[in-house]
Amino acid sequence: MIEVRRIHRRDLNKVWEFLKISFRAVNQETVEYQRPRSKKRFMEVYEEEGIEQLLFEADGELVAYAECAYEVVGGDDTWINPRYFERRDMRPLFVEELAVHPDWHGRGVGGFLMEQLHHLAKVRGLTHLVLEVAENNENALSWYRKRGFRKLDAAIFMACAIDAEPELLPPRALPGARDGDDDDAKGKRKAKAAVKGTVKLKPKA
């Protein structure tokens, strides 16, 4: 039996640890972290208005987490362009976070979670679920596509290789000594100068 409830303050530390476990594998393969970047930011989300944080439990065990927003969050500090959706007459439920514990994959947890999000959108009069997923997270992409999700206008991280060179230059041969001024000659002049500069002391009687 799986049930869903809203998060409580007492759940925050437990859910943060749950997210780290859930995203550990995928975070090793993607450019962007697929979970909140810091515990501080995760704690702040709990205080924000217009955000739902849902916990899914089976036999008292936390098996999934969903976080969604009814409008673009982040104010001026966001990359989402609300006008994109307005021009297309889309009223989205923005899915900020989805996580299913690795031990519960393939057991219908994700399907129930998605059904709950569809229900939230319907009762709010919203028309779409919108979420972000890494393009090389093939398992997640396949899962979403089977459930009717289609690519909108997502950014793609690109890289161009550069021929690497060391920062420090390699050793370089210096020009030879001036004509008639080889090392042996220099050494003899130094020795002469040293002798001229010495003072000989008489031995004590």
| CATH number reported for the structural domain that contains residue 59 in this entry | 3.40.630.30
Per-residue pLDDT of the chain (205 residues; tens, 9 = 90+): 999 999 999 999 999 999 888 877 665 555 555 566 688 888 999 998 889 999 999 988 999 999 999 887 765 666 778 888 889 999 999 999 899 998 999 999 999 999 999 999 999 999 999 988 877 778 888 999 999 998 887 666 667 777 878 888 889 899 987 766 555 555 555 555 554 555 555 555 4
Structure tokens at 63: 């098996």
Structural domain harbouring 34: 2-146
What's the pLDDT at 84?
86
Q: What is the pLDDT of residues 9-20, one digit of tens each?
A: 999 999 999 988
What's the pLDDT at 174?
92
23 vs 42: CA distance, rounded Å = 14
Longest C-alpha distance within the chain, in Å?
118
What's the pLDDT at 27?
59
Please state at what angle helix 12-27 crosses helix 39-47, rounded to 10 degrees. 130
100 within 8 A of 63, measured Cβ to Cβ: yes
Whether 47 is in a domain gets the answer yes
Please state the domain count of the chain: 1
137 within 8 A of 23, measured Cβ to Cβ: no
Kind and range of the H or E element at 64? strand 61-69
Whether 107 is in a domain gets the answer yes
Whether 72 is in a domain gets the answer yes
Whether 155 is in a domain gets the answer no
14 within 8 A of 43, measured Cβ to Cβ: no
Structure tokens at 183: 């090392």
Tell me the residue type at 122: K
What's the pLDDT at 30?
58
Whether 178 is in a domain gets the answer no
Q: What is the pLDDT of residues 106-121, one digit of tens each?
A: 999 999 999 999 999 9
Neighbours of 43 (CB within 10 A): 14
Whether 174 is in a domain gets the answer no
